[in-house]
Chain A
Amino acid sequence: MSDTPRGVSSPVLELPERLRLRYAKLGRVRYTSQRDLARVMERAMRRASLPLRRSAGFSPRPLLSFGLALPTGCSSRAEYLDLRLDHESTTSPGIRVVDAADIDPASLHRLCALLSAMLPDGVDVTAAAALRGPEMSLQEAVASCDWELEVLGVGPAEAAGQVERLLGADAVMVTRERKGREVADDLRPSILSLRVADRPARVLDGHGDVVGIDASVSTRPRGVRPGELCQALGDQVTLLGACRTYQWMENEDRTVRAEPLSEAGVACVGLPARTEVLGG
């Protein structure tokens, strides 16, 4: 072994105390749970010698906070994670914690590459940003997310009819089990948009048509899982795959939506963060 610090090539990596990361979860690894992925992240960060701030107590855990949980089996191009580094840690000589104002975007870029190399196939850190103000937590900040679904059991025309029916309905009731009891919920208030995708249709051997559906769903009054959307589309519809493509914050009058990364002034690398002006 050389004298260079573990996992980090010189020069010293300068990072802010508070960071938000965007990562993708694609391929086979999507069958791991949110909890599994949290452990995978923790191990990758230890391998990268990130001086994570830890909770107090007999079993201190790193202070990582994940946003909306991604259902097991769903993939995503837009997952987020906040973390805090410890200025005073001496265990990571290759990393220095500096003021967020002094961050060089190249450091964030290096951090993305470093973590991606430590993560399993299919999990990649695609953006990093310094957090500097009193940002809301991811749980509070994210107002909606976009999904690409692939469903089986209906043809494209039939699916379009179902979508139209669903959007025209006053209420879209689905049932789920909660604490051993069946609970009925109305999804309609959470469905912002829904349409049959114009991606080319394909046929899966032994299963028939694969139909793409694009959905945008609000996190309030309650989040909507891809499986529930499928259930709402009809009994014969089953989910083949689902990918979260965006998570959005909104301004107060809901005229602009932006990725949780792109608050004014934060540095950002990787795929460009996205801001959209919503049509009135």
Chain B
Amino acid sequence: MTSVWDRVEPLLWHVEKPARYIGGEDGSFRDDKGPDAVRWLLAYPDTYEIGLPNQGLQILYGILNEREDAAAERTYAPWGDMEAAMREASVPLFSVESTRPAGEFDVLAFNLSAELTYTNVLNMIDLSRIPLHTAERGPSDTVVVAGGHCTYNPEPLAAFLDAIVLGDGEEVVGELNDVMAAWLATPAAARTRRGLHVALANTEGVYVPSLYTPRYADGVLVGYDVDAEAPATVDKRTVADLGEWPYPRAQLVPLTEVVHDRLNVEVFRGCTRGCRFCQAGMITRPVRERPKDQVLEMVRSGIERTGYDEVALTSLSTADFSGIGDVVAALCDPEQGVPEVAVSLPSLRVDAFTVATAASIQQVRRTGLTFAPEGGTWRMRRVINKLISDDDLYAAVDAAFSQGWRRIKLYFLIGLPTERDEDVVAIARLAANCVERGRAHHSKASVTASVGGFVPKANTPFQWHEMDSPSELHRKVALLRREARATRGLDIRWHDPDATGAEGIVSRGDRRIGAVIERVWRDGGTFQEWSERFELARWEAALDAEGLDLASTALRARGRDEMLPWSHLSAGLHPDFLWGDYESSLAGEGLEDCRWTPCYDCGACTTYGIEHVVAATAPPAGGSQGTGQGLDLTGPVTVELGTTHR
């Protein structure tokens, strides 16, 4: 493989942020492997500064590069100015480490964390000069694969990907490397794409879309014809013990500023709070905690190696980590050998106890405080199983303002199932009450309420539910803004409802959406996550050209018996559990966290013979969120285990 640096360099004077394209991070890999090693190019389909911190890619980068028979480099989506310069100078997509062309790698592996990046995936395959469609690729073309949270409905990208991995990648990436190595060792004449596809499909957790052919009747998906050599359903992979995988061991330290520019240590994976809108919480079950000593060791060695002055303890709800008290105490104690460091907890639980924890560890430098009540009314929060009372929120906010914070951010969703206008308006009232509480402590206390539009996602209890149209979401945003106008110190921010509509198309659509994505890309629609580059009209025109529309692909409700596009792909959750939980939701019934209460058999543990790895046997003190504690204080909520699944 040969570097194209000499051709890249003259372009760098003329583009914005050239540091995006030069690599040079501390912790990056220099290829010293033998010729037989499988060459991976790990790709994030957005800019360098968004993609570099992605922990999924960094974990795989570390695991692959520790193997003798694998070598992994990285690439990111070139921004529009660089893409234009590359195309004009006939420079292909290249790796940031050795500036080698993407098409010379054996595997191009994408992380899919956001659906609106899909047009960038197509653009990057094209810039790599790899045939865009799997069907056009021959035995010597780079193999294009993907993993990440979005793969639970991969159908919109089915035509472009050779294989898709479901679930945790730590173990399966090695198995994929073995399959690739064997295939590459086969004499070229005997090598076929189909042979590779069959071998990949017989690797647990790997979905090969070319072996599954969708069938439609009256414009509706009715089933898949499954190749005789492929399994009928593909199950996700789950790492049983996170303690066995202390990755990334050498987190990359970039030369230029990126998002989440700090040390990140994952304290647990999975969440069983059971928030019904939350795809991440559903597909990553069960909870697997990292041993607290390992967390401390990863913080200590990571800070020492990187020189960062901030560490984030990451998970879906870090205050629920059994070892949080001990870890925090150790990080605050200079005798424990961790240099002075700011600790951030990116996902706070909404209660005063959590705020006290945050305050005790943020003596060095105060980062922002964010809470996510998600719904404006208790009724709404019962429907989505985010069981926070108004009083929980007020207690958390009081604690935060009294501990010296002056600005608080609240996250809400609109367009939730059963939502009424009063639920939307209540968001502004709730936030205004928080401002008023803040004023008791500081005259300039302020609250930012960020509002996103809800997209019901695959493998959640709401996967059958309809979603609000962009115009309905626009109406609700206007309603909210009108209500919030009178409150000084309250700032309402909202996600563009048009972008939510497009996210619905690619999250909920079937394989026919591939042609829509291709049209949007060919029309110049890259970087659709960036509001300045997004236009819903492009998506609507593409749908129209394919004989489809927003209502039937994204918005409409699905029946219980309808074939969902992702019905052959499993996160372990029983469809009956999801349907039962959906019905409970519509009845306003809550469901407790199964970490601390008896199992209700969602399927995530029993299907795969694994279980929670949680050090504490009792729920954390000080809050009611999902733990069943204190629910009686705030009115009647039925929480009847055993009646929710039938």
Closest partner residue, chain A, to B20 (CB atom): A31
Q: Is the CB of A58 within 8 A of B257?
A: no
In the assembled complex, which residues on chain B have CB atoms less than 8 Å from the CB atom of A67? Answer: none
B198: interface (CB < 8 Å):
no
Closest partner residue, chain A, to B99 (CB atom): A28
In the assembled complex, which residues on chain B have CB atoms less than 8 Å from the CB atom of A205? Answer: 6
B309: interface (CB < 8 Å):
yes
Please report the C-alpha to C-alpha distance between residue A240 and residue B10 in the assembled complex, in whole angstroms.
7
Closest partner residue, chain A, to B367 (CB atom): A59
Q: Is the CB of A58 within 8 A of B365?
A: yes
**What does DSSP make chain B's interface, helix, strand, loop or mixed?**
loop
A258: interface (CB < 8 Å):
no
Q: Is the CB of A32 within 8 A of B255?
A: yes
Count, chain B residues at interface, CB 8 A? 27
In the complex with contacts A33-B256, A47-B307, A73-B13, A120-B24 CB distance below 8 A:
yes
In the complex with contacts A47-B307, A91-B339, A239-B13, A32-B365 CB distance below 8 A:
no
**What does DSSP make chain A's interface, helix, strand, loop or mixed?**
mixed
In the complex with contacts A33-B19, A239-B13, A43-B306 CB distance below 8 A:
yes
B18: interface (CB < 8 Å):
yes
In the assembled complex, which residues on chain A have CB atoms less than 8 Å from the CB atom of B253? Answer: 43
Please report the C-alpha to C-alpha distance between residue A90 and residue B340 in the assembled complex, in whole angstroms.
11
B227: interface (CB < 8 Å):
no
Type the 1/0 row for A32-46, where 1 means its CB is closer than 8 Å to any CB of B: 110110011011111
Interface of chain A residues 226 through 252 with chain B (CB within 8 A): 238-240
Please report the C-alpha to C-alpha distance between residue A28 and residue B24 in the assembled complex, in whole angstroms.
8
Closest partner residue, chain B, to A207 (CB atom): B10
Q: Is the CB of A28 within 8 A of B339?
A: no
A160: interface (CB < 8 Å):
no
Closest partner residue, chain B, to A46 (CB atom): B307
Q: Is the CB of B304 within 8 A of A6?
A: yes
Type the 1/0 row for B253-281, where 1 means its CB is closer than 8 Å to any CB of A: 10111000000000000000000000000
In the complex with contacts A73-B13, A240-B10, A60-B26 CB distance below 8 A:
no
Please report the C-alpha to C-alpha distance between residue A118 and residue B26 in the assembled complex, in whole angstroms.
10
Type the 1/0 row for B13-32, where 1 means its CB is closer than 8 Å to any CB of A: 10001110111101000000
A139: interface (CB < 8 Å):
no
Closest partner residue, chain A, to B6 (CB atom): A205
Please report the C-alpha to C-alpha distance between residue A49 and residue B334 in the assembled complex, in whole angstroms.
14
For this complex, 16 residue pairs linking A to B, each with C-beta atoms less than 8 Å apart, are A29-B255, A32-B255, A33-B19, A40-B255, A42-B307, A43-B306, A44-B307, A47-B305, A47-B307, A49-B339, A72-B18, A72-B19, A91-B334, A91-B340, A120-B26, A204-B10
Q: A29-B24, A91-B339 are in contact. List 20 more A-B contacts (CB 8 A).
A: A6-B304, A28-B24, A31-B18, A32-B22, A33-B17, A36-B257, A43-B253, A43-B308, A44-B307, A46-B308, A46-B339, A47-B306, A49-B339, A59-B366, A72-B18, A72-B19, A73-B13, A120-B26, A204-B10, A240-B13
Q: Which residues of A contact B (CB under 8 A)?
A: 6, 28-29, 31-33, 35-36, 39-40, 42-47, 49, 58-60, 72-73, 91, 118, 120-122, 204-205, 207, 238-240
* 9 interchain residue pairs of minimum CB distance: A43-B307, A31-B18, A47-B307, A46-B307, A28-B22, A32-B19, A36-B256, A32-B255, A31-B19
